[in-house]
Structures are given as C-alpha cells and as structure tokens.
C-alpha cells in the first residue's frame, strides 16, 4: 500500500487542493483497508469492494481544540488540523 504522504498527494491531485477533512478521510480509508486485510486496493481485490467514507466535512470541536494545543506555533487553523491529523 502507498504511504500516507503518497495517498495525500493523490488526494490533493484529484481534488485540486488538500484540507484537513481529506487527511481524515485518507487515514480512515487506510484503517478500513488494514482491518479488511486488503494490502493493495488497486490490485487483484480492486473491484471486490467499493466504499464511501463521509466525515461530514469537519471533525468535532474537541479535535480542533487538540490540534490548536499540539501546534500553537501555526496560525492557520486548517494547517494546524492537517498537521495534527497526520
């Protein structure tokens, strides 16, 4: 499976930008694949499972507050969240 950074680059390329919600979505997809034992979603198991992941655009407020605590040196909230969620 590709690394988190590689998958995030793919997500950014597909959507034209990268935001904190995409970081969470990619991480959730990676966890789901791991739990299902799928190592290569583009390989032989590619068409056996189709999944849609929806996080309703933003994490809960406690996650945003934790991101602010973890990275107070970053002023941009989206950047704080992306780094914390990675």
pLDDT at 12 over 90: yes
Q: What H or E segment, with its residue span, contains residue 58?
A: none
d(CA 79, CA 44): 36
The pTM score is 0.74
pLDDT 10s digits, 19-68: 988 998 899 889 988 998 888 888 887 777 777 766 666 668 888 899 99
- Domain boundaries, given as residue ranges, for the chain: 4-85
Query: In this model, does residue 1 exceed pLDDT 90?
Result: no
């Amino acid at each position: 499976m590709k690394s988190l950074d590689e998958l995030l680059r793919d997500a950014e390329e597909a959507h034209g930008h990268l935001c904190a919600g995409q970081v969470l979505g990619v991480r959730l997809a990676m966890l789901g694949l791991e739990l299902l034992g799928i190592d290569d979603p583009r390989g032989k198991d590619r068409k056996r499972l189709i999944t849609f992941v929806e996080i309703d655009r933003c994490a809960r407020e406690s996650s945003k507050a934790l991101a602010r605590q973890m990275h107070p040196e970053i002023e941009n909230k989206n950047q704080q969240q992306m780094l914390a969620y990675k």
